[in-house]
Amino acid sequence: MIRTSRRRWLAVAGAAALAAGLAACGAFRNEYTFSQSQLQAALERKFPFNKRYMELFDIQLTNPQLTLDPARNRVNVQFDAAIDNKLFFRHALTGRFALDSGLRYDAPTRSVVLQDPEVQRFDVQGMPAQFSRQLNALGGILAEQLLQDYPLYTFRDDQLRVAGTQVEPGTITVLPDGINVKVNRP
């Protein structure tokens, strides 16, 4: 009787130790939480962002700064912006560009990407008044066409494999100090 109890205790203790070890290795992981600083660092690696638009405007976004809006489940990103067009401007126009956006997972790129970004502010120093309407339109187009699906964070292959099984991120929740990504199990 004592040997059976001891064997049972050792089996339970061994199973608990194995489960704890696997959990520590991420084998039972069902979510990822990324801090704001981790997201900021990932975003900074993807900049500067340079794009030519309509063969007229050279746009450069630098110095991204990420803030989180958990109440709306959105992120806010501000950039230094430079817009150049040799036909209209003597010098490149500079200012601040700010947008807010939802997030979604994009399976082909294994990335958390911007979804439906909306321009909050597009302030350009020295902008001639006659171009302000066009600039606001350009800011909206920039957000909708150029930054839609822009990757904020890209998962490594090992982050999407749990206990030898491929998993896919699901629900993304913006937290006060990061984002949480639930993992969908097959």
The mean per-residue pLDDT over the stretch 145-172 comes to: 87
In terms of phi and psi (left: phi > 0; alpha: psi -120 to 50; beta: otherwise), the region of 158 is: alpha
Cis peptide before 186 (omega within 30 of 0): no
Q: What gap in Å lies between CA 109 and CA 180, rounded to an integer?
A: 19
Q: What gap in Å lies between CA 27 and CA 21, rounded to an integer?
A: 9
Give the chain's mean pLDDT.
Answer: 79
Tell whether domain 30-184 is in CATH 2.40.50.840. Answer: no
pLDDT tens digits for 4-38? 444 444 333 333 333 333 333 333 468 899 999 99
In the numeric block, the tokens 């982050």 are attached to 159
DSSP E strands, the chain: 31-35, 49-53, 57-69, 74-84, 93-106, 111-125, 151-154, 161-162, 165-166, 168-175, 178-184
Return the pLDDT at 28: 44
pTM: 0.73
Residue 49 has pLDDT above 90, yes or no: no
Burial class (CB in 10 A: 0-12, 13-18, 19+), 72: exposed
